[in-house]
Amino acid sequence: MILPDGYSDVPAGKIAAVVTHLEMTARPASSPAPSGPWTLRHVVRPDLAWYRDLYRRVGEEWLWFSRIRAEDEKLAARLHHPLVETHALVADGRDEGLLELDFRTLGSCEIGMFGVTPKLVGSGAGHWLMRRALELAWSRPIKRLWLHTCTFDHPAALPFYQRAGFRPFRRQVEISDDPRLDGTAPRDVAKHVPFID
């Protein structure tokens, strides 16, 4: 459905995000990998409680909620699929970043999840993790790497992805129940999105 020009009401109890889809269709020129005190750990068949804890720590302030609300069976089917890889950025012996690569579409890879915990924002860890993501994705026979971000993500996310070489190709509006109203997310997160209940 195409929204008409002008304002469209968002019902009370709902939130609306503008989603931007971005892609790259050729492997970017290699650049010197940033250094840092981080390692990347491939997590085979991730435990759902572990995954949701890291997902929450990375994205709760930005209203990431889809994987918290997902039914266990559906989330496990995705994360345990042999063509979906989950990686954790490890800092000081603790998982502090999340990278999910989805190779289920032939010739393509989606970065399904990407981010670092708030304590690593601005440290260079995100840039380091993106370099690892690009290396891992383009080591496979793909012709397209893509992801999406939205206005509920960190405000630096969209320009960060563009600097990494991704180009926007689609924009959508997503309307959902506000996760702070049903206990999926704490009521005190995402101050940049006011309550209307």
Domain boundaries, given as residue ranges, for the chain? 16-28+36-177
Domain 16-28+36-177 has CATH 3.30.565.10: no
Whole-number pLDDT of residue 2? 85
Look at 115 and 152; give whichever has higher pLDDT.
Answer: 115
Q: For the sheet with 84-91, list strands across it.
A: 38-43, 84-91, 94-102, 108-116, 144-150, 14-24, 167-177
- Check if the beta carbon of residue 110 is closer than 8 Å to that of residue 102: yes
Whole-number pLDDT of residue 129? 96
Token pair recorded at residue 197? 């209940």
Query: Could you report the per-residue pLDDT of 23-54, keeping only the tens digit for each?
Result: 999 999 877 667 789 999 999 999 999 999 99
- Check if the beta carbon of residue 145 is closer than 8 Å to that of residue 111: yes
pLDDT band of 196, cuts 50, 70, 90: confident
- Which segments of 42-124 does DSSP mark as H helices, in order? 48-59, 66-69, 72-79
How far apart, in whole angstroms, are the C-alpha atoms of residue 47 and residue 75?
Answer: 10
Cα dihedral sign, 122-128-59-56 = negative
Average of per-residue pLDDT values in the chain: 94
pTM assigned to the model: 0.94
Which residues contact residue 190 at a Cβ distance below 8 angstroms, ignoring those fewer than 6 apart? Answer: 61, 62, 63, 152, 180
How far apart, in whole angstroms, are the C-alpha atoms of residue 11 and residue 165?
Answer: 36
